[in-house]
Amino acid sequence: MNVIISGGGTGGHIYPAIAIANELKAIDPATEILFVGAEGKMEMEKVPRAGYRIEGLPVVGIKRELTLDNLAFPLKLGRSLLRARQIVSRFQPDVAVGVGGYASGPTLLAASLAGVPTLIQEQNSYAGLTNKVLARWAKRICVAYPGMDAFFDADKIRLTGNPVRSDIQFADQQAEAGRALFGLNSGRPTLLIIGGSQGARTINESIEAGIRRFIDAGIQVIWQTGPAFIERAQAAVTATGSALVKAYDFIYDIDKAYGVADVVVSRAGALSVSELCLVGRPAILVPFPAAAEDHQTKNAMALVERSAALLVRDQEARQQLITTTLDLFANPARQQQLRTEIKTLARPNAAREIAEEVRKLAGM
């Protein structure tokens, strides 16, 4: 079986795609998988690191503000469609899978035009524009939240949850390895801060301003800043003179980071929310307000309404995030309630269920 998997742009699209690919290979190692991404985007580095081939398209997105860059959009889209058709013709996929992101549009359209069955994986509680367009031709749509028939044909929908890396399911077994990796003390509480693969400016600036309060409370901090903020974060850590705070631009061993975390501060991207449900960590979510259709707030509210997470709005983070986090550390009963409720929302077999849907479309 030959499978194309297309999409990317952020870790929230890339890692579910890799999880699906890994599951397909686990079921049948003879499965051939080709990724198609957008040139210059992070999938062009992350996918080969995971051991898969990837080809790039020159596709770009339309910026919301009026810019000269938007004038190049039709030309690059046309070139991307042409290249996608060439890739489909050469690779001869049995199924094409789209996970969202710029590249999935031309790739799945080219596959559909060639008569290849397509599957869409929609991670968010509010469907993205690309997936809403592609749904017209898709044979199957795998979703993570109920109620997605507001966007898609109900007959095509399968509620599978979001696939995450298989090693995250075993995060609880990685606490000792995590402490060794990050240089942590087993007797101190630990905070994990993850603003997404590119970092989160509001979260970063809030932590930077209040970092001394965590140190004074004896809390260890693992801080994923994203590449744009790492120098500022490292300067802030150095200025404290404390070894309790560890700043990283990106954490590859995220299973070990979850393994040592007592509390997590995070954006509310679909992948982050799914990971938090699976590892069962008390979470304070700070949704990115500029996400399309404010979908991160919708993702967060799906947990908050179940008493499975706390919410701090982006515009209030600088005033409230540090205090809310310290209050949660001081309240073990609340931590336990959040752990219990968030784990009820986990869907640990998502990758396997999606892989099986892919195989059904291929007649396997």
What tokens appear for 327 in the block? 């209050």
Rounded Cα distance between 252 and 94, Å, is: 32
pLDDT band for position 192 (cuts 50, 70, 90): very high
| The predicted structure's pLDDT at residue 59 | 76
Q: Binding site annotation covers 89?
A: no
- What value does the mean pLDDT take over residues 337-347? 94
Q: Binding site annotation covers 270?
A: yes
| The predicted structure's pLDDT at residue 69 | 63
Q: Binding site annotation covers 296?
A: yes
Please, is 28 exposed, middle or buried when counting C-beta atoms within 10 Å of its C-beta (0-12, 13-18, 19+)? exposed
Task: Give yes or no for residue 166 having a pLDDT over 80.
Answer: no
Q: Binding site annotation covers 86?
A: no
Mean pLDDT of the chain: 92
Task: Give yes or no for residue 325 having a pLDDT over 70.
Answer: yes
Q: Binding site annotation covers 11?
A: yes
3-state secondary structure at position 123: coil
| The predicted structure's pLDDT at residue 198 | 66
What proportion of the chain, given as a percentage, has pLDDT over 90? 75
Q: Binding site annotation covers 274?
A: yes
- What value does the mean pLDDT take over residues 304-313? 96
pLDDT tens digit sequence for 246-284 = 999 999 899 999 999 999 999 998 889 999 999 999 999
| The predicted structure's pLDDT at residue 97 | 97
What proportion of the chain, given as a percentage, has pLDDT over 70? 95
- What value does the mean pLDDT take over residues 60-73? 61
Structural domains in the chain, CATH included, are 2-162+348-361 (3.40.50.2000), 166-343 (3.40.50.2000)
This prediction's pTM: 0.81
pLDDT tens digit sequence for 13-42 = 888 899 999 999 999 999 999 999 988 888
Task: Give yes or no for residue 62 having a pLDDT over 80.
Answer: no
* R_g over Cα of the chain: 21
- What value does the mean pLDDT take over residues 316-343? 97
Q: Binding site annotation covers 165?
A: yes
| The predicted structure's pLDDT at residue 223 | 97
| The predicted structure's pLDDT at residue 12 | 76
Tokens 């190049």, residue located: 72
How far from 324 is each of 188, 214, 318, CA to CA, in Å? Answer: 19, 12, 11
- What value does the mean pLDDT take over residues 294-317? 93
Rounded Cα distance between 265 and 278, Å, is: 16
Task: Give yes or no for residue 63 having a pLDDT over 60.
Answer: no
Please, is 63 exposed, middle or buried when counting C-beta atoms within 10 Å of its C-beta (0-12, 13-18, 19+)? exposed
| The predicted structure's pLDDT at residue 357 | 97
| The predicted structure's pLDDT at residue 175 | 94
pLDDT tens digit sequence for 74-84 = 777 788 899 99
- What value does the mean pLDDT take over residues 223-229? 93
